[in-house]
Amino acid sequence: MSPSLAILLVTLGAMLAGAGVVHLIPRLGRAGRALSGALCRAPLLDVVITYFTAGPMIAGPIAGSMLSPETPVLGAGLGLLAAVLGQVGAVMVWTVLHELAHPEARRGPRIVHTLNRKVGRVRNHAAVWWTAWAVPVFWVIRVAQYFVYPPLTWLVRLPKYRAEEWINVSRHKFRGLVGHDLIWCLYCDWMTGVWSLGGEMLRNVESFWCPIRFDSAKKCENCRVDYPDIEGGWVAADADMEAVTRVLDERYPGPGGTNAWFGHPVRVTVEGRSPEA
């Protein structure tokens, strides 16, 4: 058996076995349900996501280079490809099995069937799979949230966050979501939380270090939803540095305070501290 085929089959088996374990855990009584709930939110959700997404992409190239010592670079590339194909195969096999296990929901109203009618089956499925390119991107963003942002809460007292309030999944509880619909809704569930938490962290960074409106009016208009301080406190693009330093003096409390973006809840709590801190 070639190294690439071995990596593909091992990845396929590991993904399906992992999915089986995830399905089994909540059926193990009260302790199992508690563990299942914990696995649906950070930090344990990060372990689950890494296992199913980034893990094979890391292990595949390593295994490929080790199994092909004469051509380690080529082996690593083929190992990555084999691991990704194993992941894709596991999703497809799991989708079929999950739909077969829920025949009523499979035959009922479905997101996938409705959108297939709207844009065509081939286009819809091709587009959904194309979004999978973003999985490693979001995983890297999540890693940055672990290692890049937290030191800022100590160094310059940016606000802390409870990650589990952002990084969690719950759409598996929605009745009628099966197979294709369920797996992609869970992906979006996780992705949305990662992106939203990252945006919240960047709001603090931008208002703390760069409270200056963009010279482009269109950019200000486009970005003000994600960065409300554009309209709520940043100085005009044609102002001067005195105006910038005045905003910083007015908006930030100094020693002992929390340096949150201007509209953060920390600024409206009675005790002057964030409930997340």
Whether residues 120 and 256 share a domain: the answer is yes
Q: What is the sign, positive or negative, of the torsion defined by CA atoms of 184, 190, 193, 199?
A: negative
**Are residues 29 and 68 located together in one domain of the fold?**
yes
Range of the domain at 200: 107-277
Q: Does residue 101 sit in helix, strand or coil?
A: helix
> How far, in Å, CA of 154 to CA of 185, rounded?
36
Whole-number Å distance between alpha carbons of 109 and 19: 25
145 and 33 assigned to the same domain: no
Instruction: Give me the number of domains the chain comprises.
Output: 2
The structure's pTM equals 0.89
Residues of the chain short of pLDDT 70, as ranges, are 268-277
pLDDT at residue 272, as a whole number: 44
Q: What is the pLDDT of residue 110?
A: 95
CB 99 within 8 A of CB 179: yes
Confidence (pLDDT) at 257? 86
Burial of residue 103 (CB within 10 Å: 0-12, 13-18, 19+) is: exposed
List residues bridging with 41 in a β-sheet.
168
Residues 111 and 229 both lie in one domain: yes
- Report helix, strand or coil for 212: strand
Max CA distance (Å), the chain: 70
Query: Measured between alpha carbons, how far is residue 233 from residues 60, 68, 198, 240, 246 in Å?
Result: 48, 58, 21, 14, 11
Instruction: Give the per-residue pLDDT at 268.
Output: 64
Question: Do 175 and 220 belong to one domain?
Answer: yes
Q: What is the spatial distance between Cα 172 and Cα 174, in angstroms, rounded to a whole number?
A: 5
Domain boundary among 101, 127, 159: 101
The tokens describing 39, both together, are 């696995």
Pick the last residue of a domain from 63, 85, 101.
101
Whether 132 and 191 map to the same domain: the answer is yes
Q: Which of 101, 122, 149 is the last residue of a domain?
A: 101
Q: Which of 15, 45, 181, 155 is nearest to 37 (CA)?
A: 45
At 97-124, the pLDDT tens digits run 999 999 999 999 999 999 999 999 999 9
Q: Are residues 260 and 124 in the same domain?
A: yes
Q: How far is residue 267's CA from residue 252's CA, in Å, rounded to a whole number?
A: 10
**pLDDT of res. 204:** 97
**CA 117 to CA 236: how far, in whole Å?**
48
